[in-house]
Amino acid sequence: MLKEGPAKKVSIYVGEDHHYHGQSLYSAILNFLFYHGISGASVVRGVAGFGADHHLHTTRIEVLTADLPMKIEFVESAEKVEEVLPKLRQLAGTGLIEIQDTMVVKPAEIAKKPAQESLPALKLQGKAKLMRIFIGESDKWRGQPLHKALIESMRANDIAGVTVYHGVLGYGANRRLRKDSAMHLSHDLPIMLSVVDTEEKLQSYFPVLDQMVQQGLVVLSEVDIIKYTHNFGVTERRKEVRE
């Protein structure tokens, strides 16, 4: 961990379209730093610049280029910089590496999480309902995608959870085939929302669902649930016990 006192600031300048083993070079450098214990690093994207080739790179429309300058910067101890520098030289290729002496006045601290009571795992079993909602990707509700609006409304109505699945092929009541492929492009691919909760909770949500889903299919099935919960708060534990 970086400590207060003398340190080195390292700046690495590369092009946005430079690659290393199939991935963006700046991403490869950042991954290397991350997995070699560097305390922290940042990547910033330039809006204009030129390098050794004296070719101007800019975001201006009249001189549009995809090779904008990228800067990866980090602060570390001199010993750690010496350790990673040989590999950084190799990775940077035609890029520029700059090292400056600096002083760490206050090192970054890891945010402390509030202490939680250590509780044993709780296993709950019981009957519940599985609700599946089939709609189209282009379906809207008050100007926003219907599936996103449904998620927000379920959260507001304390539904336990929902998962959205994006279909790649399907058809509905109108018998029109919807397919996700470059040769057969559709803007109305099938969407399925899967919800598991108690029958009472889902029944209370049905009036809201009926208003929002004008065209689609809603099915309800009975399921057996097994829920594993670890180290959750006392309030939640009491709620689960009451249920």
Backbone angles phi, psi at 94, to 5 degrees: -85, 0
The CATH number assigned to the domain holding 48 equals: 3.30.70.120
The residues, any chain, with a CB within 8 Å of residue 210's CB and separated by 6 or more, are none
Residues 88 and 169 in one domain: no
Write out the two tokens for 80: 């750690």
Domain assignment of residue 68, given as a range: 5-104
The residues, any chain, with a CB within 8 Å of residue 187's CB and separated by 6 or more, are 137, 138
Residues 19 and 58 in one domain: yes
pLDDT, residue 52, reads 56
Residue 102 β-bridge partners: 7
Count of CA atoms in the C-beta half-sphere (13 A) of 35: 6
pLDDT, residue 130, reads 93
Residue 68: DSSP 8-state? -
Place of tokens 């450098």: 29
**How many domains is the chain built from?**
2
Residues 67 and 138 in one domain: no
Residue 114 lies in a domain: no
What residue ranges of the chain have pLDDT lower than 70? 48-67, 111, 113-125, 169-188, 227-243
**Residue where a domain terminates, one of 46, 69, 104:** 104
Mean pLDDT of the chain: 79
Q: In this structure, how many other beta carbons lie within 10 angstroms of the beta carbon of residue 64?
A: 9
Write out the two tokens for 188: 């109305």
**Residue where a domain terminates, one of 57, 73, 104:** 104
Residue 113 lies in a domain: no
pLDDT, residue 61, reads 47
